[in-house]
């Protein structure tokens, strides 16, 4: 019974609520359009308010919007356009029969006057918000009755003027920036654009700049915003009190074709809000507050801005590489072989070099980053560079002289010097191991390589079994041994996939030895290619590392170590062909 009683009074409450709201808001007219303006045609919006400041004015100047009263300042494009779009298809949610005192229309809280580019004006007078705060009572000029429209327009008109302002301290096209300077009380750091995305440090030293850092700084500067406007037109005494006459930092941005730079000047920390600093910009005269969090990214040192790359070169342009350490000298060069470019080891032995392993060395050197700088080393012995543990030379295409790197490790710190200057770079100690490779480490690990589409015949022999396959057409293979039948193309393709670019994990020996088991292989694969060339691959004994010895006529019957799963896959594919 109590539950039924509670439900009854709940229904009564909702019924009364609906009645009150309908009586307050009047007849719903299902969204009649009371004003429809094209935002692109609006040139001025005046907001006469009861609250201070009494008058706020926005005006279009060319393609930009400006706040012209109570102060003159650039306006925020997004904020203004959001407001202007509310005048498009502005609908009355409710049409009222007459003005009532509770609507607040006798003494409007806000009068909005909109001017278009034809000289016409449109006026809306606002009273109070409706009880649910979603609507506002209003009189739209030219409309016969008071209405309820969205309260968002009333909220816009009552915003503090600063919310309409464009708070960006600098506005520029980063592609047009030619120079960037950071001026501190005791030093000056200057970067100049060298190329589209390349920068050079020119003060206090001349060296390559860290392109990523400079470009990130430009992004940060273009989005840096004022958090509060303090004084619109400060006097000299105020600038002194904010320490903007003797700033802790000034950032200058030079643009192509302009004589004077854009700048941001940073003064002292705020007296009570210690997370903010006083600042000023050439964009407008006001003194503002900016967050220390934003400024942290701007306070850069020479070490922050200089390039961390220890050697600058184009990896794909390197044609010759020489490595010397512990009495060993290794030389590799690029050479053309048919349509391919391959690496050849010339010293200490003449054998093909592995392109992946050579690339590993070049990647390691190209990616080497300085962890610190010693620009004027007094004694190279302090860094082990009087007798370096490794010397590396590289020649780029068209270059007459090599770029040389000397590297040593003392304790857990690596030290590196180049032929490009006297600076000693601190680098990670593990870089030495990345560059110090033995001749065997650099041997070519490509056991087999051919184009899958060039294969015309395949023979597999394993466990006293034999399969011979002949290609009849594209995706059409026939088994001719041990019996003649169509072969499953997907299975044949899987065999070719395993063989066409077979790479080993490690080089083992120049020629097969009895312990490799290649005289009695577990599996032999023969692939005849277009033109009649045949490649033979043999898989021998299992090693202790769960891999197998493998050799091929492609690699001159050198012996390699390869993971066992390739042998297992080839046997399985052969068995599948026999069962089908």
Indicate if the alpha-carbon torsion angle 172, 175, 179, 181 is positive or negative. Answer: positive
How many CB atoms neighbour CB 185 within 10 A?
9
Q: How confident is the model at residue 9 (pLDDT cuts 50, 70, 90)?
A: low
CA distance linking residue 94 with residue 34, whole number of Å: 11
What pLDDT does 29 receive? Answer: 42
pLDDT higher than threshold 50 for residue 498? yes
Nearest CA-CA partner of 570 in 428, 459, 432:
459
| 17: confidence class by pLDDT, cuts 50, 70, 90 | very low
Residues 158-178 pLDDT 10s: 999 999 999 999 999 989 999
Give mean pLDDT, residues 129-133. 91
With a cut of 60, say whether residue 441 has pLDDT above it: yes
Whether the predicted pLDDT of 59 surpasses 90: yes
Structure tokens at 69: 């009263």
pLDDT of 14 strictly over 60: no
Instruction: Output the pLDDT for position 20.
Output: 39
**Cα separation of 215 and 434, whole Å?**
30
Q: What pLDDT digit, counting tens, does each position of 445-466 carry?
A: 999 999 999 999 999 999 999 9
Q: How far is CA 300 from CA 183, 184, 195, 296, 324, in A?
A: 10, 10, 22, 8, 38
Q: Is there a contact between 542 and 516 (Cβ–Cβ < 8 Å)?
A: no
pLDDT(53) > 90: yes
Encode pLDDT of 536-569 as tens digits: 999 999 998 789 999 999 998 999 999 999 999 9
Which of 54-58, 73-77, 293-297, 361-365 has the least mean pLDDT?
293-297
pLDDT, position 5: 56
Evaluate if residue 3 carries a pLDDT over 90: no
Cα separation of 58 and 46, whole Å?
Answer: 7
Which pLDDT does position 340 carry in this prediction?
Answer: 76
The confidence score (pLDDT) of residue 546 equals 85
pLDDT at 22 over 70: no
pLDDT band at 341 (very low <50, low <70, confident <90, very high): confident
Mean pLDDT for 195-215 is 90
Confidence grade of residue 25 (pLDDT, cut at 50, 70, 90): very low
C-alpha distances (whole Å) from 43 to each of 112, 117, 293, 522 are 14, 6, 37, 86
Computed from CA positions of residues 303, 307, 309, 310, in that sequence, does the dihedral angle turn out positive or negative?
negative
Half-sphere exposure of 198 (CA within 13 A, CB side): 5
* 473: Cα separation from own chain's centroid: 47
pLDDT band at 6 (very low <50, low <70, confident <90, very high): low
pLDDT surpasses 90 at 94: no
pLDDT of 19 over the 50 cut: no
φ/ψ of 9, rounded to 5, equals -70, -30
- Is residue 288 very low, low, confident or very high in pLDDT (cuts 50, 70, 90)? very high
Q: What percent of the chain has pLDDT over 70?
A: 94
pLDDT band per the 50, 70, 90 thresholds, residue 10? low
Return the pLDDT at 540.
Answer: 96
pLDDT of residue 7: 59
**pLDDT at residue 309 greater than cutoff 80:** yes
For residue 187, what pLDDT is reported? 93
Which residues, including other chains, have CB under 8 Å from residue 478's CB and lie 6 or more apart?
Answer: 469, 470, 471, 472, 484, 485, 486, 487
Give per-residue pLDDT as tens, 395-412: 999 888 999 999 999 999
Mean pLDDT score of the chain: 91
The length of the chain is 580
Residue linked to tokens 């949610």: 93
């Amino acid at each position: 019974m109590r539950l039924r009683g509670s439900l009854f009074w709940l229904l009564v409450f909702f019924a009364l609520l609906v009645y009150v709201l309908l009586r307050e808001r009047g007849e719903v007219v299902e969204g009649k359009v009371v004003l429809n303006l094209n935002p692109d045609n609006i040139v001025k919006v005046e907001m006469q308010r009861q609250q201070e400041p009494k008058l706020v004015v926005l005006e279009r100047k060319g393609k930009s919007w400006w706040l012209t009263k109570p102060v003159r300042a650039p306006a925020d494009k997004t904020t203004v356009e959001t407001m202007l779009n509310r005048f498009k298809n502005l609908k009355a949610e409710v049409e009222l029969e007459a003005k009532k005192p509770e609507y607040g229309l006798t003494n409007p809280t806000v009068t909005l006057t909109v001017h278009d580019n034809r000289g016409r004006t449109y006026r809306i007078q606002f009273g109070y918000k409706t009880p649910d705060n979603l609507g506002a009572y209003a009189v739209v000029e030219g409309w016969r009755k008071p209405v309820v429209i969205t309260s968002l327009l009333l909220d816009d008109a009552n915003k503090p003027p600063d919310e309409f302002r464009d708070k960006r301290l600098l506005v520029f096209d980063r592609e047009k920036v030619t120079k960037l300077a950071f001026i501190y009380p005791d030093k000056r750091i200057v970067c100049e654009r060298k190329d589209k995305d390349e920068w050079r440090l020119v003060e206090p030293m001349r060296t390559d700049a860290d392109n990523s850092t400079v470009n990130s700084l430009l992004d940060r500067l273009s989005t840096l915003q004022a958090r509060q406007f303090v004084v619109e037109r400060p006097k000299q005494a105020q600038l002194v009190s904010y320490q903007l006459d003797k700033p802790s930092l000034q950032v200058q941005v030079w643009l192509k074709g302009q004589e004077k730079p854009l700048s941001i000047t940073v003064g002292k920390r705020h007296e009570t809000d210690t997370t903010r600093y006083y600042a000023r910009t050439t964009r407008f005269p006001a003194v503002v507050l900016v967050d220390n969090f934003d400024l942290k990214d701007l306070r850069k040192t020479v070490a922050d801005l200089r390039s961390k790359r220890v050697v600058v070169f184009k990896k794909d342009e390197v044609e010759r590489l020489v490595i010397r350490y512990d009495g060993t000298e290794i030389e590799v060069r690029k050479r053309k072989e048919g349509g391919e470019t391959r690496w050849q080891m010339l010293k200490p032995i003449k054998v093909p070099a592995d392109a992946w392993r050579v690339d590993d060395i070049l990647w390691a050197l190209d990616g080497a980053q300085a962890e610190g700088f010693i620009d004027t080393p007094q004694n190279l012995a302090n860094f082990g560079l009087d007798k370096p543990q490794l010397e590396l030379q590289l020649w780029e295409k068209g270059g007459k002289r090599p770029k040389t790197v000397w590297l040593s490790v003392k304790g857990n710190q690596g030290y590196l010097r180049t032929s490009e200057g006297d600076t000693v770079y601190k680098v990670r100690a593990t870089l030495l191991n990345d560059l110090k490779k033995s001749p065997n480490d650099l041997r070519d690990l490509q056991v087999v390589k051919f184009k899958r589409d060039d294969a015309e015949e395949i023979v597999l022999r394993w466990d006293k079994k034999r399969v011979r396959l002949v290609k009849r057409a594209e995706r059409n293979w026939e088994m001719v041994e041990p019996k003649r039948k169509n072969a499953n193309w997907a299975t044949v393709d899987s065999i070719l996939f395993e063989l066409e670019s077979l790479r080993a994990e490690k080089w083992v020996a120049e020629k097969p030895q009895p312990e490799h088991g290649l005289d009695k292989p577990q599996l032999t694969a023969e692939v005849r290619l277009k033109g009649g060339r045949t490649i033979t691959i043999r898989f021998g004994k299992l090693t202790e590392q769960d891999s197998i010895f493998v050799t091929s006529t492609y690699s001159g019957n050198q012996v390699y170590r390869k993971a066992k799963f390739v042998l297992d896959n080839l046997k399985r594919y052969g068995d599948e062909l026999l069962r089908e």
